[in-house]
Amino acid sequence: MARMFGTDGVRGVANRDLDCYLAFKLGQAGAYVLSKGKKRPKILIGKDTRLSGDMLEAALIAGICSAGADALVVGVMPTAAIAYLTRYYGVDAGVVISASHNPMEYNGIKFFDGNGYKLPDKMEDEIEAIIKGQEQVDIPAPVGDEIGRKVPVPNALQDYVNFLKSTIDVDLSGLKLVVDCANGAAYKVAPMVFSQLGAEVKVINDNPNGVNINYNCGSTHPEGLQRFVIEAGADVGLAFDGDADRLIAVDEKGQLVDGDQIMVICALDMKERGVLKHNTVVATVMSNIGFDIALKKAGCNFIKTKVGDRYVLEEMLQGGYNIGGEQSGHIIFLDYSTTGDGILTALQLLSVMKRNNRRMSELASVMQRFPQVLVNAKVSPEKKDSYMDDPIISEEISRIEAKFKGAGRVLIRPSGTEPLIRVMIEGADHKEIEDSASRLARLIEERLS
């Protein structure tokens, strides 16, 4: 049976893969596992703007309260806000109802522990085992006044805004921003933060109706923001995803500034100020080779992990590093937050601009983005993980990499959910890497189908 928890909680099409019954059981089992031995534990709940959020929230609250825990409800809030407020309010756990950057028909449920960290696999497995009946436990079923309560938290938004503002030591006066809220969880808080810090703010995609979250907008579709930045004569564009844990920026010329570039800009500033711990940045294997080159040139170290922010965070905690993230714009500033926070990332980026009095295009030019091409090769499921055992495939990979002479690379990665091998090649010549990726994908299909 497939594992219920993926790399970012339980996720699927709402009311089909993730229905009210499962949400109820997640609330019940989650409350039990995350607050063992505590009387009247408290669990904080937030959500994004999806239509299914209300439905799943009601079921989740019912499960939590049925286990004798109080459900503290903050309504629509970014994922990172729940991580922060869980710590700030000293509650036992936090839960977010969101499918992040996915289309509106999807939704998800993910937990944070009392310290604001996503749960380790072992704890998720315990929750899952209880739901599937693989572990027999006596979840409390209180009656009378011991049943949990639903408790609204009226000041949560301002508490989070105050925290975000405290993470930088400059004001943003003189900056003209265009902010794309993706019709998602950032639609209230992001404009508040930037305006209160003195920026001139033009907001787009801030009218969520339950079905327009991430639809042709936000960090996964920044084309509209690019046009708007140029038309408005803005200094910077900022695009968030549905739960606002990612940031993709746009410079004053309408050019994209992705997560790799943002990490390099912020890391070099941190190095200059003497606050880059161990002179190291953590990223995933999907980061552009231009990221590696820029950090090497600046005398910074970098560590690469498997794809997924949880692996980045694990490496950061283990090594004591304070910045890491993904090309997608999911960046963790561990001095301030336990998870990726798009708005916090934007503030760190804007503060670099203000302190150095430089345009975004100048800052971004420190890293050259090499073209990347991704091609999927369809293979037999049982052969998906054995591509390097084939001498003809490994020989072709070596031949392609030898051509690049350090200015390109080949990354082969089996899909976690489909019978596919993902072939990613990057280098200076787009046509060359496109042809190489297509040939390699065809070879893999021929050898492993």
Give me the active site residues, please.
100
Phi then psi for residue 176, to 5 deg, are -105, 115
Return d(Cα 283, Cα 262) in angstroms, integer: 12
- The helix, strand and coil proportions of the chain, stated in percent and rounded to the nearest 5, come to 40, 20, 40
DSSP secondary structure string, 65-101? HHTT-EEEEEEE--HHHHHHHHHHTT-SEEEEE--TT
* Residue 448 amino acid letter: L
Strands (E), 241-336: 247-250, 256-257, 280-284, 301-305, 323-325, 331-333
Q: Which residue has the tokens 């000293």?
A: 90
329: Cα within 13 Å, side-chain hemisphere: 30
What is the layout of strands, in order, in the sheet containing 323-325? 301-305, 280-284, 323-325, 331-333
User: Which are the contacts of 2, defined by CB distance < 8 A and separation ≥ 6?
Assistant: none
What is the layout of strands, in order, in the sheet containing 10-13? 10-13, 106-113, 93-97, 42-47, 70-76, 150-152
Which has the closest alpha carbon to 53: 219, 209, 192?
A: 209
CB atoms within 10 A of CB 386: 14
* Token duo for residue 303: 């560590």
Q: SS3 of 161, please? A: helix
Which has the closest alpha carbon to 428: 354, 371, 367?
A: 371
